[in-house]
Amino acid sequence: MSGYTKRRIVVAGGGTAGWMAAAALARTMGDAIELTLVESDAIGTVGVGESTIPPLVTYNRLLGIGEADFMRETQATFKLGIEFENWKRDGESYFHSFGLTGRDHWSAGFQHFWMHGLTKGHSASYDDYCLELQAAHASRFAHLPDNRMNYAYQLDSSLYAAFLRRMAEADGARRVEGKIARVELDGASGDIAALVLESGTRVEGDLFIDCTGFRALLIEGALQVGYDDWSHYLPCDSAIAVQTSSVRPPIPYTRAIAHDAGWQWRIPLQHRQGNGIVYCSRYLDREVALDRLVSTVEGTRLTEPNFIRFVTGARRKQWHRNCVAVGLSGGFMEPLESTSIHLIQRAVLRLIRMMPMGAVSERDVAEFNEQQMTDMLQVRDFLILHYKATERRDSPFWRQCGDMEIPESLTQKIELFRETGRVFRKNEELFAENSWVQVMMGQGITPQAYHPVATKLSDEELHHLLAGLRDSVAKTVASLPQHDAYVAHYCGAQNAVAA
């Protein structure tokens, strides 16, 4: 393009965030940019973002990534949702699935028709009307016509980063090995001018993407944008992760098992299982947490425990001057709803849509920051819901969660659903109506009323609707192959565990 000078984009840090950014930029922008990624083999990554949500399917398709190859390379399995155990009460569980439950009317969600059915003697669980949920419990999976099965992946995030690195470098990204010693600012503008490595090498750029994780070397260390601490709402501040060998065929869902000071995860991959414990250090000692984790995992331990400390919250600005924070450098919310990789994806695709032609537009910066913060606040509220809406009072941790003040935005959502059965999705909100309904009802919030349109149906019409939907789900699930067999045929990795 006449008069256009290639923008030099520098990604600081590798890992999942760095290579997701580099791969998308290199594939989308091509020769329009000069792309460099700086990382050090000596610096480890958090690397526990193994459970994902459906938008990653779209992200991979946008980049032209072949699904079977991607899954084979990352030892991935399919994921249909999350089983939440002991969250409402100890010993009870519910399932947050992807996709839809039943069939919505334009004026009201399916939950209104189901609730009306309860008054007419229909006793089937709300769960019986969700294809993804029933398939998950039956450990079945297949790709269906018209994308009728909504799914995500359970993957090895380190292998995913390596997969994306190969792709990014093939598309022209240049990797520079080395630790960042300091961030050099331009004295006149205050922008970042270069990264200076321990070797003395200077890596100059026009736009810098901070993927340095919790350290946030650029956005906070150099530019000091500030951090909003949300630990009042989400009090867990510690995690321990460990990988174990698989002892049974992988199931197509993630387990989130609450305990007296937080929760544990189990994520089944083809070749191993990811395990971890998330907890509040006020109520649980680190050594006790470690013992609880290692005493409950299945299989042989493959890795040493990875100890992680964090403060839930967000940078006050995700884009400041010529620096954009992506991933943990921009903020952190615990992996309860598998949103970490999604928030990386949203930031990267949003940045590409706002890629400056010349000087950075402050209007772009303001819009980017507003959209990013909206995303993070909406995810925050959804996570708070799991802790606030509980009947557990069996430990100081759960009493604190049940008694805590919550944001007005979440109070409105909960009370609206409690009074009317309604949920409204705002501003391209990540979690759809069905997600909120499943989690709110799963956590014990029961609507006191439902939409009058449901009463329009005669008893015969209501029976036909409910029975037809339930039978359709059951027949489809019965026709599906076992998840592990489908994975082995579709994308089986050589060193995966045989069923």
C-alpha distances out from residue 150 to 131, 134, 145, 490, Å:
9, 12, 11, 17
| Helix/strand/coil (H/E/C) assignment for every residue in the chain | CCCCCCEEEEEECCHHHHHHHHHHHHHHHHHHEEEEEEECCCCCCCCCCCECCCHHHHHHHHCCCCHHHHHHHHCCEEECEEEEECCCCCCCEEEEECCCCCCCECCECHHHHHHHHHHCCCCCCHHHHCHHHHHHHCCECCCCHHHCCCCEEECCHHHHHHHHHHHHHHCCCEEEECCEEEEEECCCCCCEEEEEECCCCEEECCEEEECCHHHCHHHHHHCCCCEEECCCCCCCCEEEEEEEECCCCCCCCEEEEEECCEEEEEEECCCEEEEEEEECCCCCCHHHHHHHHHHHCCCCECCCCEEEECCCEEECCCEECCEEECHHHHEECCHHHCCHHHHHHHHHHHHHHCCCCCCCCHHHHHHHHHHHHHHHHHHHHHHHHHHHCCCCCCCHHHHHHHHCCCCHHHHHHHHHHHHHCCCCCCCCCCCCHHHHHHHHHHCCCCCCCCCHHHHHCCHHHHHHHHHHHHHHHHHHHHHCCEHHHHHHHHHCCCCCCCC
- Residue 312's pLDDT is 97
Looking up tokens 């007005």 gives 408
pLDDT at 499: 38
Q: Please report the pLDDT score of residue 327 as a whole number.
A: 96
Q: How far apart (Å, rounded) are the C-alpha atoms in residues 488 and 499?
A: 9
Q: Which of 25, 20, 138, 88 is nearest to 473 (CA)?
A: 138
Between CA 242 and CA 422 the distance in angstroms is 40
φ, ψ dihedrals at 85, nearest 5°: -110, 130
Quick check: 193 and 47 in contact, CB under 8 A? no
Distance CA 67, CA 46 (A): 25
Ranges of residues in the chain with a pLDDT under 70 are 1-4, 44-49, 495-499
Going from the C-alpha of 282 to that of each of 392, 400, 412, 482, the distances in angstroms are: 18, 11, 30, 43
Report pLDDT for 1: 43
Residue 466 has a pLDDT of 97
* pLDDT number for residue 48: 62
Q: Which domains does the chain have, with CATH numbers?
A: 7-50+156-226+315-360 (3.50.50.60), 101-148+380-479 (no CATH)
Does the CA dihedral 54-58-59-65 come out positive or negative?
A: positive
For the CA atoms of 200, 204, 207, 208, the dihedral, rounded to the nearest 10 degrees, stands at: -10
Q: Closest Cα to residue 332, out of 346, 314, 350?
A: 314
Q: Identify the CA nearest to 81 among candidates 67, 69, 99.
A: 99
